Amino acid sequence: MQQFAIRHHSFGKPLEVLQLEQIAQPEPQAGEVRVRLEAATINPSDYGMIGGSYGRLRELPAVAGREGVGVVDALGAGVTGVAGGTRVRFPGEAGAWQASACIAADELLVVPPEVPVEQAAISFINPPTAYCLLKKIVDLQLGDWVVQNAGNSAVGLSVIQMAKAFGIKTISQVRREELVEPLKAMGADHVVLEGTGWAKGVAEITQGAPVQLALNSIGGESAIDQIKALGDGGTQVTFGGMVGDKVRFPTRFLIFNDVRLTGFWWDQFAKRIGTAGVREVMAEVYSMMADGRLKLPIEKTYPFSEYKAAIQHDGQPRLGKVLLKP
């Protein structure tokens, strides 16, 4: 049998190198299951993998996409303990923008039935990143302050809602004024506009409490503002670089304010903690998704046949995620 997949045979700009193709439907081998895709998402890191700039690349030709959710629809020989129809993470290593893929049964990440399908589709990269940024870098206490840029991103929205659940205060940097009220409605304590010199008045925002943690996924001047806003001994974590601009080495703040700079990459962290560790993190994420403490907006869903329109839409100003379905 044949199935549809969105693939690229060279690295480059998505609209130039991606193609909707028919490929052979895989059959599960001994110890494997086949997963049928329900919904996949478009992530910024997908563009890095398609373009050839990401930290980990696939052999060409490659199916695009890293994140999606599906159901088990075929079992290989010797597989027990998993039933057909079980909702699981789609095998991202194989490429998520295809109708089905196979994975070893003991590597499955099961999604609780209480989690809505569209939320499950976007649960495997951004929400666990947000959880780890808040829980695994600095020992934050009730009422501590965190600043983040790209507050309207999926990680940013996850940080806002998770921090509220944990009793942590947030300052979220955004570039568009129309985002201020929607973020506050989701639980943001304070929203600031980039380029307004907000860092100079951070003590007034926090009523004198130090900012313990800064979450940077943009770089450039946005990251420098965060460093200025950090309290003594504060930590900035960089997990993305949207603008690609150089950041001046903050000598003064490193010396006189004892500011710490570090990085975080979920892929690497997940490998280090192993399958059991990933399942523990995801259990926390799913607990919040199941009871509504974490709910991420969905912008629009496109069929595979309209992948070009989906990618164009993803590049426009928006608040929610763009999804793809076979």
Span 33-92, pLDDT tens digits: 999 999 999 998 899 999 998 888 999 999 999 999 999 999 999 999 999 999 999 998
Looking at residue 247, its amino acid is V
- Say how far residue 101 (Cα) sits from the centre of its chain: 22
Residue 57 sits in the same domain as residue 185: no
Residues 6+ apart with CB under 8 A from 165: 288, 293, 294
Please say if 302 is a catalytic residue.
no
Residue 240's pLDDT is 85
Residue 60 sits in the same domain as residue 13: yes
The answer to whether residue 74 sits within a structural domain is: yes
Residue 257 sits in the same domain as residue 136: yes
Residue 243's pLDDT is 67
C-beta of residue 250 within 8 angstroms of C-beta of residue 199: no
The answer to whether residue 108 sits within a structural domain is: yes
Over the stretch 85-103, which tens digit does the pLDDT of each residue have? 999 999 988 999 999 999 9
Given the residues 54, 131, 286, 307, select the one marked as catalytic.
54
Residue 175 sits in the same domain as residue 304: no
C-beta of residue 79 within 8 angstroms of C-beta of residue 48: no
Range of the domain at 76: 2-122+297-325
